[in-house]
C-alpha cells in the first residue's frame, strides 16, 4: 500500500518544506524519487552542488526517514 513522503530541502536553519508530498510504495521508492528531484533541481540551477543543502525525506507522520546530501 503506497504511503505519502515529503521532500524538504534543508541548509543550516533554512528549510523549504514540501507540504504536498508524493506517494511511494516504500522508503526505497521514495528515495529513488528524491534522487530524481535532486537531479532536476541541480540541472535547472534551482540548487547548486556543494552549497550545503540536503534533502530530508519525511514520512506522513512527519518523522525524518532519510537525509541525502545535495
Tens of pLDDT, residues 7-62:
999 998 899 999 999 999 999 999 999 999 989 888 888 776 667 889 999 999 99
Which has the closest alpha carbon to 49: 57, 58, 37, 41? 41
The reported pTM is 0.88
pLDDT at 1: 85
- 3-state DSSP percent of the chain in helix, strand and coil, to 5: 25, 40, 35
pLDDT at 51: 77
Number of structural domains (the chain) is 1
Range(s) of the domain holding residue 23: 3-69
Rounded CA separation 28/69 (Å) = 16
Amino acid at each position: 500500500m503506497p504511503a505519502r513522503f515529503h521532500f524538504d530541502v534543508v541548509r543550516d536553519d533554512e528549510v523549504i518544506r514540501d507540504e504536498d508530498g508524493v506517494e511511494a510504495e516504500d522508503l526505497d521508492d521514495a528515495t529513488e524519487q528524491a534522487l530524481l528531484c535532486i537531479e532536476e533541481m541541480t540541472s535547472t540551477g534551482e540548487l547548486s552542488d556543494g552549497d550545503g543543502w540536503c534533502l530530508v525525506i519525511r514520512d506522513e507522520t512527519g518523522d525524518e526517514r532519510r537525509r541525502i546530501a545535495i
